Amino acid sequence: MTTLQLGDQAPDFRLPGVDNQQHALDDYATRSVLVVIFSCNHCPYVRAWEDRMVQLQRDFAQQNVQFIVISSNSAEVRPADSFPKMQERAVEKGFNFPYLYDEPQTVARAYGATRTPEVFVFDDQRTLRYHGAIDDNYDDPAAVKQEYLRDALKAIIAHATPAVSDTPVVGCSIKWKP
């Protein structure tokens, strides 16, 4: 499995969301920037960062930026990541973005995602412009020094190249089916 490289096109997807609707890449064709984050319920790194995901979607909604959050984890391996549990989590945390279930794990494989959370940012041509972490400190939002995702979004909206476009992914491994 190969992780998408900067300059690659966004692989298509069509997945069920916690709203019981189907969501496809083309549904968001009018969005200026698409942020695809592989995530899940149980991982402590995700849970440490997810309020920041909600805040970033809120902060960039006016710039026509759309977050899509996908869980590809096997519920057999981690029952806390089942679809019903995803629905509960979305309500509990007030997710302001689609939270999709990649039960066959094909989308994670197409993107080459390996961890949660793992961020892929695509521009208006759906070309990958940023890949990696949300920022440099999962433990303490007040101690963040590098806001990788926020800075990348600002650059991409301004049709500039992000100063930092690829950062190490920090998180739990995606739980593949046995």
Partner 1 sequence: MNPEPEIEFLYFEDCPSHEAALERLQTVAIEFALSPDTIRVIRVDTEAAAEQYGFPGSPTIRIDHRDIDPASQDDPPALACRAYRHEDGRITALPPLPLLRQALQTALDARSRNAPGG
Total residue length of the chain:
178
Q: Quick one: which of 23, 42, 126, 131 contacts partner 1 (CB under 8 A)?
A: 42
Residue 33 lies near partner 1 (rule: CB under 8 A):
no
Q: Which has the closest alpha carbon to 16: 148, 112, 104?
A: 104
Instruction: Name residue 125's amino acid.
Output: Q
Using rule CB under 8 A, residue 93 touches partner 1: no
For the bound state, the minimum distance from the C-beta of residue 138 to partner 1, rounded and expressed in Å, comes to 6
Q: Going residue by residue from 73 to 92, which x/- string records binding to partner 1, judged by CB under 8 A?
A: -----x--------------
Which of the stretches 95-103, 121-129, 151-159, 165-173 binds partner 1 when contact is defined by CB under 8 A?
A: 165-173
DSSP 6-60: TTPBPPP-EEEBTTS-EEEGGGGTT-SEEEEEEE-SS-HHHHHHHHHHHHHHHHH
162 counts as binding partner 1 under rule CB under 8 A: no
User: Is residue 170 involved in binding partner 1 (CB under 8 A)?
Assistant: yes
Per the DSSP assignment, residues forming a β-bridge with 121 are 35, 130
Do 58 and 96 form a contact (C-beta atoms < 8 A)?
yes
Residues between 137 and 156 that touch partner 1 (CB under 8 A): 138-140
Q: Which is closer to partner 1, CB of 23 or CB of 52? A: 52
Of 58-66, 122-130, 134-142, 149-157: span binding partner 1 (CB under 8 A): 134-142
Distance of CA 137 to the CA centre of its chain: 17
What the block records as the tokens of 69 is 């959050």
Determine, following the binding rule CB under 8 A, whether residue 43 of this chain makes contact with partner 1: yes
**Residue 121: closest CA among 31, 36, 32, 30:** 36
Options 30-38, 40-48, 83-91, 154-162: segment touching partner 1 (CB under 8 A): 40-48
Interface residues with partner 1 (CB under 8 A) are 42-45, 47-48, 78, 138-140, 170-173
